[in-house]
Amino acid sequence: MASGKRFIATFAVLGAIFGMLGVNATGAEGRYGAASDSIKQDLDRLVAAYPTTVAGHDNTFITLKNGTRFPISDGRTDKTFKELLESPDIDDMFFVRYPARAEPKQPETNSDPGRVRFIPLFAAMYGDCRKNEVVKNLRTVKWLPKHGGGSVKVTTVNGVADALERVSRELDDLPDDVVTYLVPVAGTYNCRTVAGTRRPSMHAYGAAIDIDTRYADYWRWSPGETPRWRNRIPVAIVRIFEQHGFIWGGAWYHYDTMHFEYRPELLPRRASE
């Protein structure tokens, strides 16, 4: 009987560990790639989010204003999580719902809404920084001028610079004990890849901002192989960014709490949604 109890306890512990790693008890990793049940609404939101660059969709292709067409699905439903990140199609970007207006908490394993990006779409909209296609669209935005935040450069494409200006104005009115998380800013445009990958960062498109690193928590800084979620960023800051089309890296299982990127397609179009 005692050995049986020990076996059950050991199995339970292993199950918990496998769950944290995204692996089931048989040793099989979770599979990704199937379109969400709400994919039509997701695609409608994508079109509405980028009205100056995306013309529409027919449930099979996304069409840009310049005539470029991208297939929505590559037909695969058996991707590993790594493949989901490295080789996504458009519907993969909606594999998990972004928790807009939710209280910050530990995300479920591999719940990374926004980390999956269909690179050809973003390159078509913002340009390839390696070809100097992004720099020409950058604009200087004053960052929290009441608090001496200096200035940053972001793209004007899709209204990103205008949106960040609105964010800055609202953040500038927050109490000083909150503003301390925002000044100095850590960076915006940077022609680089996501750490540990060959994928372009949203910073490479001039569509992301990192706030003060003194209060940042990042999954790659976490000890051990399994991310242990931690956050020190006040929720008031997150709410203001979200209201203007930016998602927060602190909502990810592979968290990056200083990071915000312009991804309005992942956010509700109206407060009632």
Instruction: Give residue 270's pLDDT.
Output: 53
Q: Which of 122, 108, 117 is nearest to 254 (CA)?
A: 108
Q: What is the pLDDT of residue 222?
A: 82
Which residues, in sequence order, are bridge partners of residue 169? none
Torsion of CA 72, 75, 77, 83, to 10 degrees: -70
Closest CA to 167 of 97, 245, 231, 273: 245
pLDDT band at residue 5 under the 50/70/90 scheme: very low
| Predicted confidence band of residue 14 (pLDDT cuts 50, 70, 90) | very low
pLDDT, tens only, 243-258: 999 999 999 999 999 9
pLDDT digits (tens, 9 = 90+) for 110-147: 999 999 999 999 999 999 999 999 999 999 999 999 99
Q: How many CA atoms lie within 13 A of 158 on its CB side?
A: 33
The first and second tokens of residue 254, run together, are 């592979």
CA distance 192 to 81: 22
Least confident of 21-25, 70-74, 178-182: 21-25
Q: Within a 10 A sphere around the Cβ of 121, how many other Cβ atoms?
A: 20
Q: What is the pLDDT of residue 271?
A: 40
Q: Burial level of 216, CB count in 10 A (0-12/13-18/19+)?
A: buried
Tokens linked to 125: 């909209």
pLDDT value, residue 29: 62
Dist CA 8 CA 13 (whole Å): 9
Q: Which SS3 state, helix, strand or coil, does residue 153 take?
A: strand
- Determine the Cα–Cα distance for residues 97 and 88; give it in Å rounded to an integer: 16
pTM above 0.85, yes or no: yes
Angle between helices 235-243 and 160-172 (to 10 degrees): 140
Q: Does pLDDT of 78 surpass 60?
A: yes
* Cβ neighbours, 10 Å, residue 202: 25
236-259 burial by CB neighbour count: b if 16+ within 10 A, else e? ebbebbbbbbbbbbbbbbbbbbbb
Bridge partners of 63, per DSSP, are: 56, 69
Q: How does DSSP classify residue 201?
A: P
